[in-house]
A = this chain, B = another copy of it.
Amino acid sequence: LHQKPKDAYLLCVGMHGESGADAKCPPQNNTAINFFCNYEESRGNFLVDVDGNRMLDVYTQIASIPIGYNHPALLKVVSDPNNASAFVNRPALGILPPESFVDKLTEGLLTVAPKGLNRVQNMACGSCSNENAYKAMFIWYRNKERGTSIPSDADLNPGCPELSILSFSGAFHGRTMGCLATTHSKPIHKLDVPSFDWPIAPFPRLQYPLDEHVRENAQEEARCLEETEDLIVKWRHKGMPVAGVVIEPIQAEGGDNHASAAFFISLRKIASKHGCAFHVDEVQTGGGATGRFWAHEHWGAEDPADIVSFSKKLLTGGFFYRDEMETDKPYRIFNTWMGDPSKNLLLAEVLNVIRQENLLAEVTRTGKALLGGLYELQAKYPNLLSRARGQGTFCAIDVCKASVRDKLILQARDNGVILGGCGDLSIRFRPALIFKEHHVHMFLNVFSDLLAAH
Protein backbone atom coordinates (compact mmCIF):
# COMPACT_ATOMS: atom_id res chain seq x y z
CA LEU A 1 0.00 0.00 0.00
CA HIS A 2 2.62 2.51 1.00
CA GLN A 3 4.99 2.03 -1.89
CA LYS A 4 6.12 5.33 -3.32
CA PRO A 5 4.48 6.08 -6.70
CA LYS A 6 7.79 7.29 -8.06
CA ASP A 7 7.86 5.62 -11.46
CA ALA A 8 4.75 7.26 -12.77
CA TYR A 9 5.74 10.54 -11.26
CA LEU A 10 9.19 10.55 -12.77
CA LEU A 11 7.79 9.52 -16.09
CA CYS A 12 6.43 12.92 -16.58
CA VAL A 13 6.87 15.68 -14.06
CA GLY A 14 10.36 14.75 -13.04
CA MET A 15 11.59 14.86 -16.60
CA HIS A 16 9.74 17.92 -17.72
CA GLY A 17 12.08 20.56 -19.01
CA GLU A 18 15.03 18.19 -19.16
CA SER A 19 14.72 16.04 -22.23
CA GLY A 20 11.79 18.04 -23.53
CA ALA A 21 10.83 15.09 -25.68
CA ASP A 22 9.69 12.43 -23.26
CA ALA A 23 7.56 10.09 -25.29
CA LYS A 24 5.55 9.11 -22.22
CA CYS A 25 4.40 12.64 -21.57
CA PRO A 26 1.40 14.16 -23.27
CA PRO A 27 2.50 16.76 -25.83
CA GLN A 28 1.14 19.68 -23.82
CA ASN A 29 1.97 21.51 -20.61
CA ASN A 30 2.64 18.65 -18.18
CA THR A 31 3.87 20.57 -15.20
CA ALA A 32 0.70 20.01 -13.19
CA ILE A 33 0.66 16.24 -13.71
CA ASN A 34 0.89 14.43 -10.41
CA PHE A 35 1.05 10.84 -11.61
CA PHE A 36 -0.65 8.46 -14.03
CA CYS A 37 -3.58 6.39 -12.82
CA ASN A 38 -5.14 3.05 -13.43
CA TYR A 39 -8.82 3.95 -13.34
CA GLU A 40 -9.91 0.41 -14.22
CA GLU A 41 -8.43 -0.90 -10.97
CA SER A 42 -9.56 2.01 -8.81
CA ARG A 43 -12.51 1.29 -6.51
CA GLY A 44 -14.66 3.36 -4.19
CA ASN A 45 -12.43 5.67 -2.14
CA PHE A 46 -9.22 4.16 -3.53
CA LEU A 47 -7.33 5.43 -6.53
CA VAL A 48 -4.75 3.06 -8.01
CA ASP A 49 -1.71 4.41 -9.86
CA VAL A 50 0.12 2.80 -12.80
CA ASP A 51 2.56 1.12 -10.41
CA GLY A 52 -0.30 -0.56 -8.60
CA ASN A 53 -0.20 1.65 -5.50
CA ARG A 54 -3.65 1.84 -3.96
CA MET A 55 -4.23 5.24 -2.37
CA LEU A 56 -7.01 6.61 -0.20
CA ASP A 57 -8.38 9.49 -2.25
CA VAL A 58 -9.29 12.53 -0.15
CA TYR A 59 -9.11 14.87 -3.16
CA THR A 60 -11.24 12.97 -5.74
CA GLN A 61 -10.18 14.65 -8.99
CA ILE A 62 -10.57 18.17 -7.58
CA ALA A 63 -13.78 17.31 -5.73
CA SER A 64 -15.52 15.90 -8.79
CA ILE A 65 -16.06 12.16 -8.07
CA PRO A 66 -19.39 11.90 -6.22
CA ILE A 67 -19.76 8.25 -5.23
CA GLY A 68 -16.28 6.81 -5.70
CA TYR A 69 -14.50 5.02 -8.52
CA ASN A 70 -16.26 2.39 -10.61
CA HIS A 71 -19.48 2.45 -8.62
CA PRO A 72 -21.49 -0.63 -9.69
CA ALA A 73 -24.63 1.48 -10.22
CA LEU A 74 -22.80 3.66 -12.74
CA LEU A 75 -21.17 0.71 -14.48
CA LYS A 76 -24.68 -0.68 -14.91
CA VAL A 77 -25.84 2.52 -16.58
CA VAL A 78 -23.02 2.22 -19.12
CA SER A 79 -23.49 -1.49 -19.80
CA ASP A 80 -27.27 -1.18 -20.27
CA PRO A 81 -27.80 -1.49 -24.04
CA ASN A 82 -30.80 0.85 -23.76
CA ASN A 83 -28.42 3.64 -22.84
CA ALA A 84 -25.87 3.11 -25.62
CA SER A 85 -27.56 5.63 -27.89
CA ALA A 86 -27.13 8.40 -25.30
CA PHE A 87 -23.38 7.82 -25.30
CA VAL A 88 -22.86 7.77 -29.07
CA ASN A 89 -25.41 10.33 -30.34
CA ARG A 90 -24.72 13.61 -28.61
CA PRO A 91 -27.56 15.91 -29.62
CA ALA A 92 -27.74 19.67 -29.91
CA LEU A 93 -29.95 19.71 -26.81
CA GLY A 94 -31.18 23.27 -27.33
CA ILE A 95 -32.83 22.48 -30.65
CA LEU A 96 -33.33 18.71 -30.92
CA PRO A 97 -33.65 17.17 -27.45
CA PRO A 98 -34.22 13.43 -27.02
CA GLU A 99 -37.73 12.24 -26.36
CA SER A 100 -36.95 11.38 -22.75
CA PHE A 101 -35.14 14.62 -21.97
CA VAL A 102 -37.88 16.26 -19.94
CA ASP A 103 -38.53 13.08 -17.94
CA LYS A 104 -34.80 12.69 -17.29
CA LEU A 105 -34.63 16.27 -16.04
CA THR A 106 -37.67 15.71 -13.86
CA GLU A 107 -36.30 12.49 -12.39
CA GLY A 108 -32.80 13.90 -12.13
CA LEU A 109 -31.74 17.51 -11.75
CA LEU A 110 -35.16 18.87 -10.82
CA THR A 111 -35.33 16.61 -7.76
CA VAL A 112 -32.52 18.69 -6.28
CA ALA A 113 -33.71 22.14 -7.40
CA PRO A 114 -32.83 24.76 -4.78
CA LYS A 115 -35.70 26.54 -3.04
CA GLY A 116 -37.50 28.98 -5.32
CA LEU A 117 -35.53 28.06 -8.43
CA ASN A 118 -37.91 26.21 -10.72
CA ARG A 119 -35.90 26.31 -13.90
CA VAL A 120 -32.64 24.73 -14.90
CA GLN A 121 -30.30 25.31 -17.81
CA ASN A 122 -27.96 22.45 -18.74
CA MET A 123 -24.34 23.25 -19.47
CA ALA A 124 -21.23 21.09 -19.71
CA CYS A 125 -18.73 22.35 -17.13
CA GLY A 126 -18.32 24.86 -14.32
CA SER A 127 -17.01 27.58 -16.61
CA CYS A 128 -19.82 27.59 -19.15
CA SER A 129 -22.28 27.30 -16.25
CA ASN A 130 -20.95 30.49 -14.69
CA GLU A 131 -20.40 32.30 -17.99
CA ASN A 132 -24.00 31.69 -18.96
CA ALA A 133 -25.31 32.50 -15.50
CA TYR A 134 -23.56 35.88 -15.81
CA LYS A 135 -25.11 36.37 -19.24
CA ALA A 136 -28.55 35.53 -17.84
CA MET A 137 -28.03 38.17 -15.13
CA PHE A 138 -26.91 40.80 -17.64
CA ILE A 139 -29.90 40.10 -19.88
CA TRP A 140 -32.31 40.16 -16.91
CA TYR A 141 -30.81 43.44 -15.70
CA ARG A 142 -31.09 45.16 -19.06
CA ASN A 143 -34.65 43.91 -19.64
CA LYS A 144 -35.53 45.38 -16.25
CA GLU A 145 -33.94 48.69 -17.25
CA ARG A 146 -35.75 48.73 -20.58
CA GLY A 147 -39.02 47.76 -18.92
CA THR A 148 -39.58 45.37 -21.78
CA SER A 149 -37.97 42.23 -23.02
CA ILE A 150 -38.18 43.36 -26.62
CA PRO A 151 -34.98 45.23 -27.45
CA SER A 152 -35.18 48.11 -29.89
CA ASP A 153 -32.92 48.38 -32.94
CA ALA A 154 -30.82 50.88 -30.98
CA ASP A 155 -30.36 48.28 -28.25
CA LEU A 156 -29.17 45.74 -30.78
CA ASN A 157 -26.47 47.97 -32.13
CA PRO A 158 -23.91 48.09 -30.53
CA GLY A 159 -25.67 46.16 -27.79
CA CYS A 160 -22.77 45.60 -25.38
CA PRO A 161 -23.45 47.73 -22.32
CA GLU A 162 -21.16 48.74 -19.48
CA LEU A 163 -22.31 46.35 -16.78
CA SER A 164 -20.40 44.48 -14.11
CA ILE A 165 -20.50 41.44 -11.85
CA LEU A 166 -19.38 42.00 -8.27
CA SER A 167 -17.18 39.23 -6.88
CA PHE A 168 -15.07 38.73 -3.77
CA SER A 169 -11.37 38.70 -2.99
CA GLY A 170 -10.18 35.09 -2.92
CA ALA A 171 -13.05 33.93 -5.12
CA PHE A 172 -12.75 31.25 -7.79
CA HIS A 173 -15.43 31.03 -10.48
CA GLY A 174 -13.55 29.51 -13.40
CA ARG A 175 -10.97 30.40 -16.01
CA THR A 176 -12.74 31.39 -19.20
CA MET A 177 -12.54 35.14 -19.63
CA GLY A 178 -15.87 36.17 -18.08
CA CYS A 179 -15.38 33.80 -15.14
CA LEU A 180 -11.74 34.78 -14.84
CA ALA A 181 -12.71 38.42 -14.35
CA THR A 182 -14.39 37.28 -11.11
CA THR A 183 -11.64 34.86 -10.04
CA HIS A 184 -9.07 36.17 -7.56
CA SER A 185 -7.66 33.12 -5.83
CA LYS A 186 -4.13 33.22 -7.31
CA PRO A 187 -2.41 35.90 -9.48
CA ILE A 188 -0.94 33.26 -11.83
CA HIS A 189 -4.48 32.33 -12.96
CA LYS A 190 -5.09 35.83 -14.28
CA LEU A 191 -1.59 36.77 -15.39
CA ASP A 192 -1.40 38.15 -18.95
CA VAL A 193 -5.13 37.77 -19.64
CA PRO A 194 -7.13 40.98 -20.27
CA SER A 195 -9.97 41.50 -17.85
CA PHE A 196 -12.92 43.74 -16.98
CA ASP A 197 -12.89 46.61 -14.53
CA TRP A 198 -15.40 44.99 -12.18
CA PRO A 199 -15.70 45.56 -8.42
CA ILE A 200 -14.05 43.13 -6.00
CA ALA A 201 -15.44 43.19 -2.46
CA PRO A 202 -13.55 41.83 0.56
CA PHE A 203 -14.54 38.32 1.63
CA PRO A 204 -14.61 38.07 5.44
CA ARG A 205 -11.40 36.73 7.00
CA LEU A 206 -12.88 34.85 9.93
CA GLN A 207 -11.34 33.20 12.94
CA TYR A 208 -11.92 29.51 13.59
CA PRO A 209 -13.64 27.71 15.17
CA LEU A 210 -16.46 30.03 14.18
CA ASP A 211 -18.48 29.47 17.35
CA GLU A 212 -15.59 30.61 19.54
CA HIS A 213 -15.17 33.93 17.71
CA VAL A 214 -18.72 35.01 17.15
CA ARG A 215 -18.30 38.69 18.04
CA GLU A 216 -15.05 39.42 16.13
CA ASN A 217 -16.34 37.48 13.14
CA ALA A 218 -19.62 39.40 13.12
CA GLN A 219 -17.63 42.64 13.09
CA GLU A 220 -15.49 41.46 10.19
CA GLU A 221 -18.58 40.39 8.26
CA ALA A 222 -20.27 43.74 8.91
CA ARG A 223 -17.21 45.51 7.54
CA CYS A 224 -17.28 43.42 4.37
CA LEU A 225 -21.01 43.95 3.87
CA GLU A 226 -20.58 47.69 4.21
CA GLU A 227 -17.73 47.76 1.69
CA THR A 228 -19.76 45.62 -0.67
CA GLU A 229 -22.67 48.02 -0.57
CA ASP A 230 -20.29 50.95 -1.10
CA LEU A 231 -18.82 49.24 -4.16
CA ILE A 232 -22.25 48.62 -5.66
CA VAL A 233 -23.04 52.32 -5.28
CA LYS A 234 -19.63 53.37 -6.55
CA TRP A 235 -19.85 51.24 -9.70
CA ARG A 236 -23.33 52.57 -10.42
CA HIS A 237 -21.92 56.08 -10.25
CA LYS A 238 -19.06 55.02 -12.52
CA GLY A 239 -21.66 54.10 -15.13
CA MET A 240 -20.97 50.38 -14.89
CA PRO A 241 -23.76 49.13 -12.63
CA VAL A 242 -23.53 45.76 -10.90
CA ALA A 243 -25.98 43.42 -12.63
CA GLY A 244 -25.17 40.51 -10.34
CA VAL A 245 -23.28 39.53 -7.21
CA VAL A 246 -21.55 36.15 -7.35
CA ILE A 247 -20.26 34.25 -4.33
CA GLU A 248 -19.29 30.76 -3.23
CA PRO A 249 -20.97 29.49 -0.02
CA ILE A 250 -17.47 28.35 1.01
CA GLN A 251 -14.56 29.82 -0.95
CA ALA A 252 -12.84 26.64 -2.09
CA GLU A 253 -9.79 27.26 -4.32
CA GLY A 254 -9.22 30.49 -2.42
CA GLY A 255 -8.45 28.64 0.80
CA ASP A 256 -11.68 27.20 2.23
CA ASN A 257 -12.95 30.47 3.62
CA HIS A 258 -16.26 30.26 5.44
CA ALA A 259 -18.78 32.93 6.38
CA SER A 260 -21.89 32.84 8.54
CA ALA A 261 -25.45 32.26 7.37
CA ALA A 262 -26.23 35.78 8.57
CA PHE A 263 -23.55 37.18 6.26
CA PHE A 264 -24.96 35.48 3.18
CA ILE A 265 -28.54 36.41 4.03
CA SER A 266 -27.57 40.07 4.53
CA LEU A 267 -25.56 40.06 1.34
CA ARG A 268 -28.51 38.69 -0.61
CA LYS A 269 -30.66 41.50 0.86
CA ILE A 270 -28.13 44.15 -0.15
CA ALA A 271 -28.01 42.74 -3.68
CA SER A 272 -31.81 42.82 -3.96
CA LYS A 273 -32.02 46.30 -2.47
CA HIS A 274 -29.76 47.59 -5.25
CA GLY A 275 -31.45 45.63 -8.00
CA CYS A 276 -28.57 43.16 -8.46
CA ALA A 277 -29.18 39.46 -9.06
CA PHE A 278 -27.66 37.10 -6.47
CA HIS A 279 -25.72 34.16 -7.87
CA VAL A 280 -24.50 31.40 -5.58
CA ASP A 281 -21.71 29.41 -7.24
CA GLU A 282 -21.99 25.84 -5.95
CA VAL A 283 -19.67 24.27 -8.52
CA GLN A 284 -17.40 22.92 -5.78
CA THR A 285 -19.74 22.97 -2.76
CA GLY A 286 -22.81 21.45 -4.44
CA GLY A 287 -23.61 17.75 -4.54
CA GLY A 288 -23.63 16.79 -0.88
CA ALA A 289 -20.13 17.17 0.58
CA THR A 290 -21.29 19.69 3.20
CA GLY A 291 -23.93 17.30 4.49
CA ARG A 292 -26.70 19.09 2.61
CA PHE A 293 -27.12 18.74 -1.12
CA TRP A 294 -26.38 22.46 -1.51
CA ALA A 295 -24.12 24.30 0.89
CA HIS A 296 -26.49 27.28 0.85
CA GLU A 297 -29.14 25.13 2.54
CA HIS A 298 -27.15 25.62 5.74
CA TRP A 299 -28.22 29.28 5.67
CA GLY A 300 -31.84 28.29 6.32
CA ALA A 301 -32.94 31.11 4.02
CA GLU A 302 -36.42 31.21 2.55
CA ASP A 303 -35.18 32.83 -0.63
CA PRO A 304 -31.48 32.02 -0.87
CA ALA A 305 -30.61 33.02 -4.45
CA ASP A 306 -31.68 34.03 -7.93
CA ILE A 307 -29.20 31.69 -9.60
CA VAL A 308 -27.30 28.62 -8.38
CA SER A 309 -24.64 27.17 -10.66
CA PHE A 310 -23.23 23.64 -10.41
CA SER A 311 -20.87 21.12 -11.99
CA LYS A 312 -18.14 18.72 -10.71
CA LYS A 313 -19.95 16.14 -8.48
CA LEU A 314 -23.04 16.65 -10.64
CA LEU A 315 -21.00 15.26 -13.59
CA THR A 316 -22.50 17.81 -15.96
CA GLY A 317 -22.93 21.57 -15.53
CA GLY A 318 -25.67 24.14 -15.46
CA PHE A 319 -27.57 26.56 -13.35
CA PHE A 320 -30.90 26.73 -11.60
CA TYR A 321 -32.75 30.03 -11.80
CA ARG A 322 -35.94 31.84 -10.89
CA ASP A 323 -38.76 32.16 -13.42
CA GLU A 324 -38.16 35.89 -13.83
CA MET A 325 -34.58 35.28 -14.96
CA GLU A 326 -35.80 33.41 -18.04
CA THR A 327 -34.42 34.92 -21.23
CA ASP A 328 -36.92 36.34 -23.65
CA LYS A 329 -35.63 35.03 -26.94
CA PRO A 330 -33.99 31.91 -28.38
CA TYR A 331 -30.23 31.66 -28.94
CA ARG A 332 -29.26 34.08 -26.17
CA ILE A 333 -28.25 31.37 -23.72
CA PHE A 334 -27.18 28.77 -26.21
CA ASN A 335 -24.36 26.68 -27.60
CA THR A 336 -24.04 23.56 -29.74
CA TRP A 337 -24.37 20.85 -27.12
CA MET A 338 -25.95 22.57 -24.11
CA GLY A 339 -24.70 19.81 -21.83
CA ASP A 340 -24.58 16.09 -22.51
CA PRO A 341 -27.52 13.71 -21.93
CA SER A 342 -25.12 10.83 -21.21
CA LYS A 343 -23.90 12.75 -18.15
CA ASN A 344 -27.50 13.39 -17.07
CA LEU A 345 -28.10 9.62 -17.20
CA LEU A 346 -25.16 9.01 -14.87
CA LEU A 347 -26.18 11.92 -12.65
CA ALA A 348 -29.71 10.55 -12.20
CA GLU A 349 -28.11 7.34 -10.93
CA VAL A 350 -25.77 9.25 -8.60
CA LEU A 351 -28.80 11.00 -7.11
CA ASN A 352 -30.52 7.64 -6.62
CA VAL A 353 -27.50 6.27 -4.79
CA ILE A 354 -27.31 9.38 -2.59
CA ARG A 355 -30.94 8.86 -1.58
CA GLN A 356 -30.88 5.08 -1.25
CA GLU A 357 -27.71 5.01 0.80
CA ASN A 358 -28.73 8.08 2.78
CA LEU A 359 -25.36 9.59 1.93
CA LEU A 360 -26.06 13.12 3.15
CA ALA A 361 -26.54 11.82 6.71
CA GLU A 362 -23.44 9.67 6.26
CA VAL A 363 -21.42 12.68 5.14
CA THR A 364 -22.54 14.59 8.23
CA ARG A 365 -21.45 11.72 10.49
CA THR A 366 -18.13 11.20 8.68
CA GLY A 367 -17.52 14.96 8.63
CA LYS A 368 -17.87 15.14 12.42
CA ALA A 369 -15.20 12.44 12.81
CA LEU A 370 -12.93 14.21 10.32
CA LEU A 371 -13.24 17.65 11.85
CA GLY A 372 -12.92 16.20 15.36
CA GLY A 373 -9.70 14.48 14.32
CA LEU A 374 -8.35 17.71 12.82
CA TYR A 375 -9.17 19.61 16.03
CA GLU A 376 -7.22 17.03 18.01
CA LEU A 377 -4.23 17.20 15.71
CA GLN A 378 -4.08 20.98 15.78
CA ALA A 379 -4.29 20.92 19.56
CA LYS A 380 -1.37 18.49 19.57
CA TYR A 381 0.71 20.35 16.95
CA PRO A 382 -0.16 24.02 17.46
CA ASN A 383 3.05 25.16 15.73
CA LEU A 384 2.25 23.17 12.62
CA LEU A 385 -1.52 23.28 12.29
CA SER A 386 -4.27 25.82 12.80
CA ARG A 387 -7.71 26.97 11.68
CA ALA A 388 -9.32 23.53 11.27
CA ARG A 389 -12.75 24.16 9.76
CA GLY A 390 -15.44 22.46 7.77
CA GLN A 391 -19.01 21.57 7.00
CA GLY A 392 -19.73 17.87 6.48
CA THR A 393 -16.58 16.38 4.96
CA PHE A 394 -15.86 19.68 3.17
CA CYS A 395 -13.02 20.41 5.62
CA ALA A 396 -9.66 22.16 5.63
CA ILE A 397 -6.77 22.93 7.93
CA ASP A 398 -3.90 25.41 7.67
CA VAL A 399 -0.24 24.52 7.83
CA CYS A 400 2.35 26.97 9.23
CA LYS A 401 4.20 27.43 5.91
CA ALA A 402 3.42 26.77 2.25
CA SER A 403 6.58 24.69 1.87
CA VAL A 404 5.62 22.50 4.84
CA ARG A 405 2.09 22.16 3.47
CA ASP A 406 3.38 21.08 0.07
CA LYS A 407 5.79 18.61 1.66
CA LEU A 408 3.06 17.08 3.81
CA ILE A 409 0.84 16.60 0.75
CA LEU A 410 3.71 14.88 -1.10
CA GLN A 411 4.57 12.70 1.89
CA ALA A 412 0.95 11.76 2.39
CA ARG A 413 0.80 10.62 -1.22
CA ASP A 414 3.93 8.53 -0.79
CA ASN A 415 2.20 6.97 2.18
CA GLY A 416 -0.99 6.16 0.38
CA VAL A 417 -3.20 9.21 0.93
CA ILE A 418 -4.06 11.75 -1.78
CA LEU A 419 -4.64 15.26 -0.48
CA GLY A 420 -4.99 18.62 -2.21
CA GLY A 421 -3.95 22.12 -1.25
CA CYS A 422 -5.90 25.35 -1.59
CA GLY A 423 -5.22 28.99 -0.81
CA ASP A 424 -1.76 29.85 0.48
CA LEU A 425 -1.49 27.53 3.45
CA SER A 426 -4.43 25.16 3.47
CA ILE A 427 -4.94 21.48 2.91
CA ARG A 428 -8.47 20.80 1.71
CA PHE A 429 -10.34 17.55 2.22
CA ARG A 430 -12.65 16.57 -0.60
CA PRO A 431 -13.52 12.91 -0.22
CA ALA A 432 -16.37 11.27 -2.12
CA LEU A 433 -19.76 11.01 -0.43
CA ILE A 434 -19.07 7.34 0.38
CA PHE A 435 -16.12 8.22 2.64
CA LYS A 436 -16.81 6.55 6.02
CA GLU A 437 -15.47 6.90 9.54
CA HIS A 438 -12.95 4.12 9.05
CA HIS A 439 -11.54 6.02 6.07
CA VAL A 440 -11.20 9.06 8.31
CA HIS A 441 -9.18 6.99 10.75
CA MET A 442 -7.04 5.60 7.96
CA PHE A 443 -6.22 9.16 6.90
CA LEU A 444 -5.68 10.40 10.47
CA ASN A 445 -3.24 7.58 11.18
CA VAL A 446 -1.07 8.40 8.18
CA PHE A 447 -1.28 12.14 8.78
CA SER A 448 -0.46 12.04 12.48
CA ASP A 449 2.54 9.80 11.78
CA LEU A 450 3.81 12.39 9.31
CA LEU A 451 3.27 15.21 11.78
CA ALA A 452 5.01 13.28 14.54
CA ALA A 453 8.00 12.70 12.26
CA HIS A 454 8.20 16.33 11.23
Contact = CB atoms under 8 A, between A and B. Distances in A.
Interface of A: 23-29, 31-40, 42, 47, 50, 61-62, 64-65, 69-71, 74-75, 77-79, 81-82, 84-92, 94-99, 101-102, 105, 110, 118-122, 124-128, 131-132, 134-135, 138-139, 141-143, 151, 155-157, 159-164, 174-179, 181, 186-196, 311-312, 315, 326-327, 329-337, 342, 346
B329 A31 contact: yes
Contact of A27 (B25, B105, B139, B161): B105
Contacts of A118: 27
Nearest to A105: B26
Contact of A61 (B26, B86, B87, B91): B91
Given A110-B27, A138-B194, A326-B29, A37 B99 contact: yes
Nearest to A37: B96
A89 B102 contact: no
Given A65-B89, A157-B187, A194-B196, 15 more contacts: A31-B330, A34-B96, A125-B128, A126-B335, A127-B335, A132-B176, A135-B192, A138-B194, A139-B191, A159-B190, A159-B192, A174-B335, A176-B176, A189-B331, A191-B332
A156 B191 contact: yes
Contact of A188 (B32, B142, B332): B332
Contact of A134 (B99, B156, B177): B177
Contacts of A334: 32, 175
Contact of A331 (B32, B47, B134): B32
Nearest to A311: B336
B105 A194 contact: no
A165 to B, nearest CB: 9
Contacts of A157: 187
* 6 nearest A-B pairs in the assembled complex, by CB-CB distance: A177-B178, A32-B330, A31-B330, A160-B195, A156-B187, A142-B192
Given A26-B102, A28-B121, A160-B195, A178 B175 contact: no
- Interface residues of A, dominant DSSP: loop
Contacts of A176: 127-128, 131-132, 176-179
Interface centre among A28, A311, A335 (most CB of B within 10 A): A28
Contacts of A95: 32-34, 62
A96 B61 contact: yes
| Residue of A92, A128, A188, A311 with most chain B CB atoms under a 10 A cut-off | A92
Nearest to A327: B29
A418 to B, nearest CB: 9
A145 B160 CA distance: 31
Contact of A128 (B69, B127, B151, B333): B127
Contacts of A329: 31, 188
Contacts of A342: 87
Contacts of A65: 89-90
Instruction: Give the one of A24, A69, A135, A181 with max B CB within 10 A.
Output: A135
A179 B102 CA distance: 30
B102 A346 contact: no
A89 B64 contact: no
A107 to B, nearest CB: 13
Contacts of A105: 26-27
Contacts of A82: 40
Contact of A131 (B126, B177, B187, B189): B177
A82 B41 CA distance: 11
B33 A97 contact: yes
A371 to B, nearest CB: 25
A388 to B, nearest CB: 25
